[in-house]
Amino acid sequence: MKIKVFDEKSKQNIEIEANTIKEISEKLNIGLGEVIIVKNGELVTEKAILKDQDELKFLSVVSGG
Amino acid sequence: MTCRKCRETPVIHLPNSNISLCKKCFLRYFEKKVRKTVRIYKLFNKGDTVGIALSGGKDSMVTLNILKSLAEQQRTTKIIAIAIDEGIKGYRDETLKFAKKFCEENQIPLKITSYKKEFGMTLDQILKKLEIKPCSVCGVFRRYLLNKEAQRNKIDILATGHNLDDETQTILMNQFRNNVAASSRLGPLTGIKDDKKFIRRIKPLYFLTEKEIMTYAFIKELATPFNECPYAENSFRGKVRDALNKLNSEYPSTKNSIIHSFLETLPLLKESYKKQDISYCNTCGEPTSKEKCQTCKYLELIKK
């Protein structure tokens, strides 16, 4: 299924073919310990079940200041 | 998969304890952990004026938010937010806007001072003049100003948003640099008791990870979109952070183990290094372990 993932750098949604959040994080090289995951506006864990056309955001938890 | 405590949909998985929690149970877990840290390490007393070093980033915003409710419960404890504007265009100006708005809406007194006002130059200008690692000079100046501003506002103790990730990184960095003396000055409560010029520091978020803090900030709408300082990427800390995160994803108790084993050795470290008496800078009079403080040394270089 196709999942819309918000890309922080380009500030645009990119479509990714995947079945799990873990699969997407591996494709995008995102460490799951370093992000929180927002699915369709709601906070979820990496084990949340995905549906076709779901919208995902990975928000970095790293602060530097 | 459901919340370990109430079977609702979880918002976070805690790898160290291998449990998942829903929004409500997570907020309870988080606040309880902060209260426990404050109680066990006696971070402040009723009647104290507690300063919060506020950058507008998620860690300090969460610290302020939680200490505000604790102070309200204790009634006699007062809180004051202190912000330092280093002068980092496109970063600090944005996080400070957020901090100001929050303090106004919640009637929290906020004192702002800046590098420009105190030292005559913004960090952006200083870095054009000095060939120096940004985090080194910025850290020295920020700590100096926080202490000075805390004294001006008669603050008893100063809270920072330092978390479990920051502390584990610092412990390892000190090991890599063979600087054990610096580690003896770490822990949830630091500084020298009864020194009028050195305001002690506390870290209420000491046992919480960045991920937990970001989750709390997201739920409470305290997260700013400006997460990373533009100067942070080249630092040694960034490299240690990446290595630690990688290790922790494979062995989830890594960071917790570092903190707990460190806390076991900390009393011995403090005992070994306690003879280093605090003295005062012969130029500005602020506390330092040397004749001249690092802030004055940097200022001399800038003025050259």
pLDDT at residue B276, rounded to an integer = 62
Q: Kindly write down the DSSP assignment for every residue of chain B, as one continuous string.
A: ---TTT-S--SEEETTTTEEE-HHHHHHHHHHHHHHHHHHTT---TT-EEEEE--SSHHHHHHHHHHHHHHHHHSS-EEEEEEEE---TTTHHHHHHHHHHHHHHTT--EEEEEHHHHHSS-HHHHHHH--S-HHHHHHHHHHHHHHHHHHHTT-SEEE----HHHHHHHHHHHHHTT-HHHHTT-SSEES-TT-SSS-EEE-TTTT--HHHHHHHHHHTT---S--B-TTGGGSHHHHHHHHHHHHHHHSTTHHHHHHHHHHHHHHHHHHHHTT---EE-TTT--EESSSS-HHHHHHHHHH-
A32 vs B contacts (CB less than 8 Å):
249
pLDDT tens for each residue of chain B, 304 residues long: 788 889 899 999 998 888 999 999 999 999 999 999 999 999 999 899 999 999 998 999 999 999 999 999 888 889 999 999 999 988 888 889 989 999 999 999 999 999 999 999 999 999 998 888 888 899 999 999 999 999 999 999 999 999 999 999 999 999 999 999 999 999 999 987 777 788 999 999 999 999 999 999 999 999 877 657 888 766 788 889 989 999 998 999 999 999 999 999 999 999 998 766 678 999 999 888 788 999 999 999 888 7
| A37 has a pLDDT exceeding 90 | yes
ipTM for this model: 0.93
* Smallest Cα distance from A38 to chain B, Å: 9
Q: Is the pLDDT of residue A8 over 80?
A: no
Task: Check CB contact of B219 with chain A, cutoff 8 Å.
Answer: yes
Q: CB contact, 8 Å: A63 with chain B?
A: yes
Q: Is residue A37 part of a domain?
A: yes
In a domain, A65, yes or no: no
* Cβ–Cβ gap A36/B213 under 8 Å: no
Of B1, B95, B228, the CB nearest to A62: B228
Per the prediction, chain A carries an average pLDDT of 89
In a domain, A14, yes or no: yes
Looking at residue A43, which CATH number applies to its domain? Answer: 3.10.20.30
Cβ of B57 within 8 Å of Cβ of A65? The answer is: yes
**Which domain covers residue A49, as residue numbers?**
2-60
The C-alpha of A37 sits at a distance from chain B's nearest C-alpha, in angstroms, of 9
**Chain A contact present for B33, CB below 8 A:** no
**Span A39-63, pLDDT tens digits:** 999 999 999 999 999 999 999 888 6
Give how many domains chain A has, as a whole number: 1
Q: Domains, chain B, ranges and CATH?
A: 40-271 (3.40.50.620)
- Min distance B11 CA to chain A CA atoms (Å): 4
CB contact (8 A) between residue A44 and residue B9: yes
**A44 within some domain:** yes
